[in-house]
Amino acid sequence: MKQLTFLFISLILIVNIKAQENQKQDELPYYEVPEYTNEYSAGSVAARMVDGLGFRYRWATENLNEEDLNYKPNENSRSIEETIDHILGLSRVIVNSTLKLKTDFTKEQPTLSYAEKRKVTLENLKKASDILIRATDLESFKIEFVYDGGSAEYPFWNQINGPIADAIWHSGQIASFRRSSGNPISPKVQFLQGTIKE
């Protein structure tokens, strides 16, 4: 009888822990890639590129520990955490473009923890995607920079080969670096389908 009671309590605890894990995963965007639309448009394709980035970034940065965050292959490389900082900056450029805001490099950014950086990055990407998917014209989503001594403006074309492609590139670096530090990405991630194998 004691063994049956123990088994029952253990089962309840496992189900409870799994439910809490699922709830935590649902708090951040891009646990899986959102369903695609039935129509191809400039906006829906651009949004899908950002969604692919969000999914890759989410899983590249999932469950990193202090050793992972400090890992870099050599002294001339960025660490994983420095790469996360860079992607956060790129996500600000992406979302600011869709919000038609300038990215001001003269403003000091707040100090954030790894979890906060990850959350803000994913939320920036999701917000940008939600705007892009409804867009009929991408021409108004310019990249605008303000920096010491001037400013610069670029068309949306540069968003694709610039911040979006750069952030995808760096998400791949994080995936590679974490494998080298002994903490590879979950084998349940299915990148082609944009889903998680349960």
Nearest in space to 104 (alpha carbons), one of 169, 49, 57, 150: 150
**What's the chain's average pLDDT?**
90
Q: Looking at residue 32, what DSSP letter applies?
A: S
Q: Report if residue 4 sits inside a domain.
A: no
Give CA–CA dist 183/177, Å, rounded. Answer: 9
CA–CA distances in Å: residue 12 to residues 1, 16, 198? 17, 6, 19
Paired strand residues for 195: 190
Q: Is the dihedral of CA 24, 28, 31, 34 positive or negative?
A: positive
Q: Report if residue 153 sits inside a domain.
A: yes
What's the domain count of the chain?
Answer: 1
Q: Report if residue 27 sits inside a domain.
A: no
- Residue 51 domain boundaries: 42-196
pLDDT of residue 1: 59
Ranges of residues in the chain with a pLDDT under 70 are: 1-26
Let me know: does 57 contact 31? Beta carbons within 8 Å. no
pLDDT of residue 20: 47
Q: Report if residue 147 sits inside a domain.
A: yes
Q: Report if residue 143 sits inside a domain.
A: yes
Residue in the block written with tokens 């389908």: 193
Q: Report if residue 157 sits inside a domain.
A: yes
Q: Report if residue 31 sits inside a domain.
A: no
In tens, the pLDDT along 65-105 reads 999 999 999 999 999 999 999 999 999 999 999 999 999 98
Q: Report if residue 17 sits inside a domain.
A: no
Give CA–CA dist 195/198, Å, rounded. Answer: 9
Whichever domain contains 62, its CATH number is 1.20.120.450
pLDDT of residue 119: 98
